[in-house]
Every structure is written in structure tokens, then in C-alpha cells.
Homo-oligomer: A and B are copies of this chain.
């Protein structure tokens, strides 16, 4: 269980296989986000149909609603949402820091108010592990503190705390069928990142996450951190870059040795009428698409692109039909999952470095920050 085999490498890029209780993950892999045990606008079957093999669910949201005890009574996340493939849960920490209406952090944990009803709650590393055990994902995360990447002084404190919390999570972790990943923090400070990587790697977890990126830092800083991680992290364990990203971010991340990604971007953009395309990111609400008979992307094999014109999708958006969000989500997810799968194939057949410029060229213009 949780063996990771590196099947091929090309530069820093790797193609691997990660074994989980719900099947093998072929890496690199992109995980759609099902925050509340549902990928927004899609049925679990539709998420399978776009080729997703790994799904992320959010511990903070599920802790608040319906509660992890409820999910456990209903058989755990896999049974609850009828998802037969691997699931990953985050620790809840990131959402506490980004969503809760009040938060007070101390060395033992975090006290915060629910963004739903204002109730006062507390999470410690041990709570996070216990909640994630009840949710029952294949891959679970250590509780960490994600701080402003550009606040170098505070980052030292937050990174040290993240390390202590990772140790506590490891001690609290009991279930053999769940892989606990430690999380490297350290903002954009390369030395701090290297220190964190060494510490987290020393914990001997089956995989290692890289947190605190894609949270407002410069792209060049993210690349520098990933380059450093590629050298510092052990080759034989999968590397998960949390909350990333755009098509370009995936290409750049894989080229720097990342194996696992997740991001809300494809489904969030879809709900705001935007789609990934070789022409760059398109907003299909634009009146210019009213008579456009082309699919979003003629080279895409998704259900939306093989059946519907931009004009029809634009009509659905204009007419406020919610299924527009469904069809655009199908396309955006399929675009990322297929891109990552194609890149994996190229690593295996030795053509990755040759094709890298082509991919970067094809997907440029899709990295504009989401309007959210």
C-alpha cells in the first residue's frame, strides 16, 4: 500500500504510479476539487467521465456540514458520494485561515468562528487527523499553517509550528489504509523551504505536499521554490503541489518534478463563464460568440466540445441555464486532465522535453488570475 514507483524521468519531470486502497494513481495527476463531497455543477459520474482518478474534498467544509461523524455513519466519503477512486482530504488548516470569520492561532491549534453560522470552533493537529479518519480518504494531510509567503519573519514561526504539528499528526495517525502526507512550508524563502523540506522528508511519510504556493507570490518565486524542492525532496515519494493551478502552472510544475495537483480553478472559472482554450481563456458570455458554430476547442474530446457550439453554450449562459456551468466545468476539467495525461505519456516515451515548448505555446493566455 502507498508504494510509489517512478516509471520514467525526463529532466526533473517524472511519470510514476502511486498505489492506494482505491486503486493506482498514474502521476502526474490533476485532482478536481469536491469541496463539500461534490465537484460543483457535476455528478460524480461526470467527474469520472472527464477522466479524473483522484478527487480532493475539504475537511473544514465537511467538518462543518454534514459533520465527519455523519459521513462516517454513511460509510465514509467513497460510499457517501459514490466515488470508487482515490480521494484526498486537506487538513482544514488552509480554509480556517482563508474562510473563518475570526481565528486565533496558538502553538496547540486554532480557534475560529464558522463562516456558516459564526459558532466558535477549535482545531488541533489531533482533531484534523481524527476528522480525516472519519471522512476516510486514501490520502490525508498534516495540519499546517499557511502564512503570507512574503512575510519572511513570520514565516519562520509558521514553518516551525507546521513542523511541530506534522510530528503530532504523525503520532495521532492510526489507520494503515490512509497515507498521511507532511507539508513543506516556508513561503518564498529558499533556505527556509530547504530546511522545511529536510524536516518533512525526515518524517518518512508516503508522500510530501508543498503548501503555501499560488497564494499571491510572483511566478518566478514559485518556480524557484519548486526548483529547490525538486533537488531537496526524496525521489521515491510523490510530491503534491497544493492548490495549483492553471494549464501553464501544471506544465511548469511537472517540469519541476511535481506529481500531484489540485485546484478549484477549472470549475470556478466555468461558473464564471470562462473556458481554457488554445486561443487563451475565453469568456463565453461575450456576444461575439452568439453565432460561433465552433466548439470551445476543436482538438478537445470532452462531451461539451464534441456536441455543442460556442453559440449554444453562450445561449445557455445568457438564458441563465445552470447546465452551462456543468458543460463548461466538463470542458475545463477535461482540458487539464488530458493535458497532464498527455504529458505523462511524453515522459514515458521520452518526448517530454521536445514537446514542452509546444505545450507552453498551446496553453499560453490561460493563466490570467481567475476573477473568482
Among A80, A307, A309, A323, the most chain B Cβ lie within 10 Å of the Cβ of: A323
Q: Residues of B contacting A311 with CB < 8 Å?
A: 66, 70, 74, 80
A82 closest partner in B (C-beta): B307
A41 at interface by CB-CB < 8 Å: yes
Q: A100-141, CB under 8 A of B: which get 1 and which 0?
A: 000000000000000000000000000000000000000000
Interface check A327, CB cutoff 8 A: yes
Within residues 24 to 76 of chain A, which ones have a CB less than 8 A from any CB in chain B?
36-45, 61, 65-66, 70, 73-74
Pair A66/B290 contact, Cβ less than 8 Å: yes
| Given contact pairs A66-B318, A322-B325, A309 touches B74 in the complex (Cβ within 8 A) | yes
| Interface check A312, CB cutoff 8 A | yes
In angstroms, Cα B160 to Cα A131, docked, is: 70
Q: Which B residues touch A303, using CB under 8 A?
A: 43, 45
Residue in B closest to A45 when the chains form the complex, CB atoms: B303
Instruction: Please report the C-alpha to C-alpha distance between residue A212 and residue B303 in the assembled complex, in whole angstroms.
Output: 39
- A316 touching B38 in the complex, CB below 8 Å, given contacts A43-B327, A290-B70, A293-B74: yes
**When each residue 303-323 of chain A gets 1 if its CB lies under 8 Å from chain B and 0 otherwise, what string results?**
100011101100110110111
Q: How far is the CA of A311 from the CA of B37 in the complex (A)?
A: 12
Partner of A40, one of B40, B65, B293, B321: B321
A61 to chain B: which residues have CB within 8 Å?
319
CB proximity of A287 to chain B, nearest CB, Å: 11
Task: State in angstroms the CA–CA spacing of A80 and B316 once bound together.
Answer: 11
A326 interfacial by beta-carbon distance below 8 Å: yes
Whether A291 contacts B74 by the Cβ 8 Å rule is yes
